[in-house]
Structure 1
């Protein structure tokens, strides 16, 4: 072999070695590193990408709790933070969840006990032995009767955890947080009472700012709100005449609340911007002590719970460290698991 051939072969070997290094680096950064990468610390709890993946899979497949594919990772992180707030801060406001409380709730979800008389739809429904993807808020397993309650519970619980891909400790932290949330909601419902300040609104939505200004001026000059709404409003979710009905003032979003603040019955708001649309509100009636309509108290309690969680979250140490590569890694694998679960479900 002459010198030129040795140089060629040596160069080829170097190139091959570089290619191997690149491939190995790619495997490391896409397969090895992401699962181990730290992505969240909340309070004293720390999560790597693999742990977030498992929780994201559970939320997506068994709770249907993710609004879109792109939001899988971020929604899961928000959920983990919320659960930590509920577990650590909730017992300062409501009774702490005891081992007996937790055991009873698990028994209910596994179909081995009946709910307490005061338990309602906030409890997670019981499902079948093979949980249907995204079919319920949670998942359960119907136990096989053995005559021994402890054995039935242990077998049913083991089967359930295997079906959802979570460890016992992790699932029980989920249940604990849900029990605390339920108790907080019950307390906030009681605090809301049966009556409160409410406002009856009408709305006109258009896409042209010039038209919006013109319509508002017509209303100020005494034009009929209902007729203008019928003719011009594009808000299909509203009544034909733009009537939004009664709402607790505490349930109005910030934009609506600011628009109608200080307006008496018959008053018309300034034009407000809502995305690419423009809206005008009319206060039809106000009441300082009106009985709440069906569902309104639950909405008030849920709003209060969300506000409480945000206040408490600000007092916790929350460190998010999710890179775009880690987020993609999580999303791709959750989607893959969801497809596998759907195929298993379809195949019976």
Structure 2
């Protein structure tokens, strides 16, 4: 029989053995579990966006993207980045609503959902069945859809709040315009205007914008901040093309000695088309995508200013700015600086080359449409300012890039 001492040792040895087995099992679990956690669990908890106390994890982004998935696959990095920007705006909208004590009740959401489901459903039936079919079609859970509705309604209430802060009336311009296809045609029309021809008759006769042409060019009343049409500016330019930079510098020396530009162009320019016109290159946009690549460099020159020798595949150009037009927003930056009755220089825009005339300037009530546009811009500017401030203060943080995108693509099913 084992002695009492041996009997006392056995439980201790068994406990020691059990502890070793437990530690070994724990080590095995750690060796297996830690890589599993960091490879398959932790990435889902990764915070891609934080706005104040609001955190968006990879899993939340994944779920939000499901209904947005294009048929071709997961979507590009740029597309999802824009989607996250939208989520950032959603969080900021809710912050703005909180600051302004604006809320959306569950009853309001229910009412809006009923309205939308009824409008989207082609047939009749129980609301519950129609709603379920509607959610299946959108690919959203009921919770996600309710939050989507809440955000939309918060935005509408914010717009109304910003609209109430807009003064009921403001200074406005009554404008008319002649819209033509090219600056050269505009020059012809301007000459006719200078000879005293009627602006409204010329608009009916020459404008390519048929809607305004029928009204003699009348465009309506415009306050500041509503019309976004803009012009990059343009220049009437003369040029001399030389074969080498040395030749260009010799021409510049002659120009500094007050030799005639037209004669020098006809004698020395290698550009056949403009040479016979004394180097006249016509109107050139300050936007390099619309004209010569040197537009941005030329535009700061005042009329009469001459460029440095500019290298091109054909040689070296010397360019002279004869005259130039203003740049900026057509209404806010240009028309508002014209006196009543004045006619603008030709303005190159996306709608064509315009000549605008200020018919009147007075304080007038804003229309509902104008107030809506101004409220939309006020909210947009507020969001941009809040986002910029939040990033500087560290309240808004992004941790999103190609690495997280690639991980999401691999796990997309």
Tell me which interval the TM-score lies in, with the shorter structure as reference length: 0.5 to 0.7
Q: Measured at CA, do residues 162 and 258 of structure 1 come closer, stay the same or move farther in structure 2, by a change above 3 Å? A: same
Point out which structure has higher relative CO (alpha carbons under 8 A, 6+ apart): 1
Query: Residue 226 of structure 1: CA displacement?
Result: 1.7
Provide the residue aligned with 2:241 in structure 1: none
Q: Where does structure 2 lack aligned partners over 5 or more consecutive residues?
A: 1-43, 71-75, 229-327
Matches within 5 A, 1:53-202: 55=64, 58=67, 73=80, 76-92=83-99, 94-97=100-103, 101-111=104-114, 125-128=115-118, 131=120, 143-144=127-128, 161-202=135-176
1:250 maps onto 2:225 in alignment? yes
Separation in 2 of the partners of 1:126 and 1:102?
17
Q: TM-score, normalised by structure 2?
A: 0.50
Separation in 1 of the partners of 2:357 and 2:340?
8
CA contact under 8 A between 1:198 and 1:286: conserved in structure 2?
yes
SS in 2 for 1:266: coil
CA contact under 8 A between 1:127 and 1:142: conserved in structure 2?
no
CA contact under 8 A between 2:117 and 2:130: conserved in structure 1?
no
1:274 maps onto 2:349 in alignment? yes
Query: Residue 71 of structure 1: CA displacement?
Result: 9.0
Q: Measured at CA, do residues 85 and 161 of structure 1 come closer, stay the same or move farther in structure 2, by a change above 3 Å? A: same
Provide the residue aligned with 1:64 in structure 2: none
Q: Measured at CA, do residues 190 and 218 of structure 1 come closer, stay the same or move farther in structure 2, by a change above 3 Å? A: same
Q: Where does structure 1 lack aligned partners over 5 or more consecutive residues?
A: 1-34, 62-68, 112-124, 136-140, 145-154, 334-348
Provide the residue aligned with 1:231 in structure 2: 205
Question: What per-residue deviation string (whole Å, max 9, x for no partner) do you get for residues 121-169 of structure 1?
Answer: xxxx42249x56xx9xxxxx9624xxxxxxxxxx887665444223455
Whichever of the two has the greater Rg, that structure is 2
Q: TM-score, normalised by structure 1?
A: 0.58
SS in 1 for 2:209: coil
Query: Residue 209 of structure 1: CA displacement?
Result: 1.7
Separation in 1 of the partners of 2:226 and 2:93?
22
The count of aligned residue pairs is 257
Alignment equivalent of 2:375, drawn from 301, 304, 322: 301
Question: What per-residue deviation string (whole Å, max 9, x for no partner) do you get for residues 34-69 of structure 1?
Answer: x999876655656678866765675799xxxxxxx9
SS in 1 for 2:140: coil
CA contact under 8 A between 1:229 and 1:242: conserved in structure 2?
yes
Provide the residue aligned with 2:323 in structure 1: none
CA contact under 8 A between 2:49 and 2:400: conserved in structure 1?
yes
Give the RMSD, CA atoms, in angstroms.
Answer: 4.4
Separation in 1 of the partners of 2:55 and 2:49?
6
